[in-house]
Amino acid sequence: MYEYKTKPYDHQVSAFERSWNKPYWALLMEMGTGKSKVTVDTMAALFENKLIDTALIIAPKGVFDNWVRTEIPVHLPDRIPHKILRWQPNITKKYQEELRDFALPERRKRDVLHIFVMNVEALSTTKGAKTAEAFLKYNPDCLMAVDESTTIKNRKAQRTKTVVKCARLAKYRRILTGSPITKSPMDLYSQCDVLSNRALGFTSYFSYQNRYAVIQTRKMGHRSFQEITGYRRLDELNERLETFSTRVLKEDCLDLPAKIYLRRDIELTDEQEKAYAQMKNLALAQLESGQLSTTQSVLTQIMRLQQICCGFLRTDEDELIPLKNNRLNELMDIIEEVQGKVIIWATWKHDIHAITDALRKRFGTESAAAYFGETPQEDRSTIITAFQDPRSALRFFVSNKTGAYGITLTEARTMIYYANSYDLEVRLQSEDRAHRIGQKHNVTYIDLVAPRTIDEKILQALRDKINIAGRVLGEDARNWLL
């Protein structure tokens, strides 16, 4: 009888008991329903039963640090001796030696669960691919789990080919995603191929496609090509999928908390790192000289640091300088994982325009609406009404503090904070736009955070219910700017 470290919800118990000792399984659990915990418990149970001695966790950049920092430490039972190694692309001599000690059975301690955590993007590189493959060759008694497996839905992508190749070497295999079919049922093939080349009953993508897709031959000039025009036999496909998967939707989990908080990390680019360091040093110098003597002057510097994290810099002459960044791409990746209508909170007009444009380009011109100072008053009620209509094409509501007060947006079950305001009242009010009378589902709140930056400090303060505007003078200002 497996003993949990953290108490599971009923749907997690069901998923674990049904799948933990299966060679392969798909945890098709909506974001916020705890598929990571089920995987950690599976890992622990397999280790205690001497079925594995290692684990390889593969996750997107914005997620894989959560496994190291939160998921494994929180859910892995304390009775299980373990060691975690996080992938880093810069393989120094010291790290190379640590990797050898970690991966080679003869060089590591026995009866210790060794968990290697890699970001899926690394599998696109020769260095990352060789490292993952070598780890599995040396450690075949391994659980390999691919988190947010829609990142490998493209069968032609190099990282997909590498992940599939590596999966053949692992004794146990898991995929984790809330939305296995983001655009079409064809997205399933590569994800399930990681589990087994026979999971769906086909060893060839084209056989799978011929079974479930409607294909027509098109001509363009002298060239002809095949185009998927529809899908068929989807009931049969679902029946196959149910034999090796657990499907969980938030709306079916009656014991989940009303509010679910998640975080997605975004690494700064080199350009952002440089600008951030320069701005931080300038602010500290101004603090030393007494130039930052008011709360507003300190808050202005905090805002400038946050703007850099979001991917732009505004000069004293009000010129906007864009910075190469990963934030918008991460937002679009998250959108692929969630279902239903979504509220996206930003702080600056520049971001609101960029987000709205990107969503319309990806999902159609009627899919997104911006609700902020520039939105005409006569259009605002129309936007709210359309968003609240489940039949409307308007899926994304993009706003700032303008939309944080006095309106009802209960059709949304997901809120994404592209950037947080330092004002606690704005955060609390914005959360309540969806979490109020009329909401029949749990609401998931996802914060985009650049680690080790002002992003992290602001989020922690808001979680601790601290109004930052009253905490940034004197020595405390230094702590914020460091």
Domain ranges of the chain: 10-252, 259-266+324-481
Top-ranked range on mean pLDDT: pick from 33-47, 229-243, 250-264, 396-410 = 33-47
Confidence of residue 259 (pLDDT cuts 50, 70, 90): confident
- Model confidence over 31-52: pLDDT tens digits? 888 999 999 999 999 999 999 9
CA–CA separation, 132 and 89 (whole Å): 12
Whether residue 301 has pLDDT greater than 90: no
pTM above 0.85, yes or no: no
Q: Residue 107: its pLDDT value, please?
A: 87
Which range, of 101-110, 200-209, 214-223, 437-446, averages the lowest pLDDT? Answer: 214-223
Same fold, 10-252 and 259-266+324-481: yes
Q: What is the CATH number of domain 259-266+324-481?
A: 3.40.50.300
Mean pLDDT to the nearest integer, 319-325: 92
Mean pLDDT to the nearest integer, 103-114: 90
Looking at CATH, the fold of the domain delimited by 10-252 is given as Rossmann fold (3.40.50)
